[in-house]
Amino acid sequence: MKKIKDFFPADYRQAVPGDEGCVSPDRMVDASTCALPEKTWFIKNSTHLNTLGGDETAEYRFMDWIFENGVDATVYNGVYPRFLIKNADGLVPLTAENDVSALWSYKRETGFFARLRQIFADLGALLKLLFKK
Protein backbone atom coordinates (compact mmCIF):
# COMPACT_ATOMS: atom_id res chain seq x y z
CA MET A 1 0.00 0.00 0.00
CA LYS A 2 1.25 3.47 -0.84
CA LYS A 3 2.22 5.91 1.87
CA ILE A 4 0.27 9.16 2.10
CA LYS A 5 3.12 11.07 0.47
CA ASP A 6 2.93 8.74 -2.57
CA PHE A 7 -0.69 9.57 -3.46
CA PHE A 8 -1.22 11.74 -6.50
CA PRO A 9 -1.51 15.40 -5.42
CA ALA A 10 -4.92 17.10 -5.56
CA ASP A 11 -4.00 18.95 -8.78
CA TYR A 12 -2.76 15.79 -10.57
CA ARG A 13 -4.11 15.26 -14.09
CA GLN A 14 -4.10 11.86 -15.74
CA ALA A 15 -0.95 11.02 -17.67
CA VAL A 16 -2.60 10.13 -20.98
CA PRO A 17 -5.11 12.68 -22.30
CA GLY A 18 -8.43 11.49 -23.62
CA ASP A 19 -11.02 9.60 -21.66
CA GLU A 20 -11.69 11.45 -18.39
CA GLY A 21 -12.20 9.72 -15.06
CA CYS A 22 -9.01 7.67 -15.09
CA VAL A 23 -7.73 8.89 -11.71
CA SER A 24 -9.24 6.95 -8.81
CA PRO A 25 -11.14 8.79 -6.05
CA ASP A 26 -8.37 7.90 -3.58
CA ARG A 27 -5.75 9.25 -6.05
CA MET A 28 -3.76 6.00 -5.93
CA VAL A 29 -4.37 4.82 -9.52
CA ASP A 30 -4.13 6.46 -12.94
CA ALA A 31 -5.94 4.09 -15.30
CA SER A 32 -5.02 6.17 -18.34
CA THR A 33 -1.64 4.41 -18.32
CA CYS A 34 -3.18 0.93 -18.74
CA ALA A 35 -2.91 -0.90 -22.04
CA LEU A 36 -6.72 -1.23 -22.08
CA PRO A 37 -8.12 1.44 -19.73
CA GLU A 38 -11.70 0.90 -20.89
CA LYS A 39 -11.46 -2.79 -19.96
CA THR A 40 -9.49 -2.58 -16.71
CA TRP A 41 -11.25 -2.54 -13.34
CA PHE A 42 -9.64 -1.79 -9.99
CA ILE A 43 -11.16 -3.38 -6.89
CA LYS A 44 -9.99 -2.11 -3.52
CA ASN A 45 -10.07 -4.42 -0.44
CA SER A 46 -10.20 -7.55 -2.57
CA THR A 47 -7.75 -10.31 -3.39
CA HIS A 48 -6.86 -11.95 -6.66
CA LEU A 49 -9.20 -14.83 -7.32
CA ASN A 50 -8.84 -18.33 -8.54
CA THR A 51 -11.80 -19.92 -10.27
CA LEU A 52 -11.70 -23.15 -8.28
CA GLY A 53 -13.68 -21.90 -5.28
CA GLY A 54 -16.96 -21.37 -7.10
CA ASP A 55 -18.65 -19.62 -4.19
CA GLU A 56 -21.10 -16.74 -4.61
CA THR A 57 -18.94 -13.86 -3.48
CA ALA A 58 -19.27 -10.39 -4.94
CA GLU A 59 -16.08 -10.97 -6.91
CA TYR A 60 -17.47 -14.11 -8.54
CA ARG A 61 -20.66 -12.27 -9.47
CA PHE A 62 -18.44 -9.62 -11.07
CA MET A 63 -16.52 -12.27 -13.00
CA ASP A 64 -19.80 -13.85 -14.14
CA TRP A 65 -20.95 -10.44 -15.36
CA ILE A 66 -17.73 -10.02 -17.37
CA PHE A 67 -18.09 -13.48 -18.92
CA GLU A 68 -21.76 -12.86 -19.77
CA ASN A 69 -21.00 -9.54 -21.46
CA GLY A 70 -17.87 -10.75 -23.26
CA VAL A 71 -16.26 -8.20 -25.57
CA ASP A 72 -18.97 -5.65 -24.74
CA ALA A 73 -17.87 -5.45 -21.09
CA THR A 74 -16.28 -2.06 -20.44
CA VAL A 75 -15.93 0.27 -17.47
CA TYR A 76 -18.73 2.38 -19.00
CA ASN A 77 -21.70 0.50 -17.65
CA GLY A 78 -24.29 1.09 -14.95
CA VAL A 79 -23.28 -1.91 -12.86
CA TYR A 80 -19.50 -2.05 -12.43
CA PRO A 81 -17.60 1.22 -13.00
CA ARG A 82 -13.80 1.36 -13.32
CA PHE A 83 -13.07 1.86 -9.61
CA LEU A 84 -14.79 -0.44 -7.11
CA ILE A 85 -14.42 -1.20 -3.43
CA LYS A 86 -15.40 -4.39 -1.64
CA ASN A 87 -17.32 -3.76 1.57
CA ALA A 88 -20.15 -5.39 3.52
CA ASP A 89 -22.55 -4.53 0.68
CA GLY A 90 -20.44 -6.34 -1.92
CA LEU A 91 -18.73 -4.50 -4.76
CA VAL A 92 -19.77 -0.86 -4.93
CA PRO A 93 -18.34 2.17 -6.74
CA LEU A 94 -15.30 3.61 -4.96
CA THR A 95 -15.96 7.09 -3.61
CA ALA A 96 -14.28 9.33 -1.05
CA GLU A 97 -17.26 8.64 1.23
CA ASN A 98 -16.88 4.84 1.33
CA ASP A 99 -13.08 4.65 1.24
CA VAL A 100 -11.56 4.53 4.72
CA SER A 101 -8.14 5.59 3.41
CA ALA A 102 -9.75 8.78 2.06
CA LEU A 103 -10.80 9.83 5.56
CA TRP A 104 -7.35 10.99 6.49
CA SER A 105 -6.35 14.24 4.85
CA TYR A 106 -3.67 14.08 2.21
CA LYS A 107 -2.36 17.51 3.19
CA ARG A 108 -1.37 17.23 6.82
CA GLU A 109 -1.51 20.17 9.18
CA THR A 110 1.77 21.12 10.88
CA GLY A 111 0.66 22.99 14.00
CA PHE A 112 -0.07 20.98 17.13
CA PHE A 113 -3.66 22.19 17.62
CA ALA A 114 -4.45 22.00 13.91
CA ARG A 115 -3.22 18.40 13.87
CA LEU A 116 -5.25 17.62 16.97
CA ARG A 117 -8.39 19.03 15.32
CA GLN A 118 -7.62 16.96 12.20
CA ILE A 119 -7.22 13.78 14.26
CA PHE A 120 -10.59 14.30 15.92
CA ALA A 121 -12.23 15.12 12.58
CA ASP A 122 -10.76 11.93 11.07
CA LEU A 123 -11.87 9.87 14.06
CA GLY A 124 -15.39 11.31 13.82
CA ALA A 125 -15.56 10.48 10.11
CA LEU A 126 -14.32 6.94 10.75
CA LEU A 127 -16.87 6.34 13.52
CA LYS A 128 -19.62 7.74 11.32
CA LEU A 129 -18.60 5.35 8.53
CA LEU A 130 -18.36 2.33 10.86
CA PHE A 131 -21.67 2.88 12.64
CA LYS A 132 -23.65 4.22 9.71
CA LYS A 133 -25.93 1.19 9.55
Q: Which DSSP category does 34 fall into?
A: S
- Cα 113 to Cα 37, 42, 109, distances in angstroms: 43, 37, 9
Which pTM does this prediction carry?
0.67
Query: Running along the chain, 133 residues long, what does each successive block of 10 average in pLDDT?
Result: 65 90 92 94 78 65 90 93 87 83 52 77 75 66
Tell which phi-psi region holds residue 21, choosing left (phi > 0), alpha (psi between -120 and 50) or beta: left
Let me know how long the chain is.
133
Q: What values do phi and psi take at 130, rounded to 5?
A: -70, -35
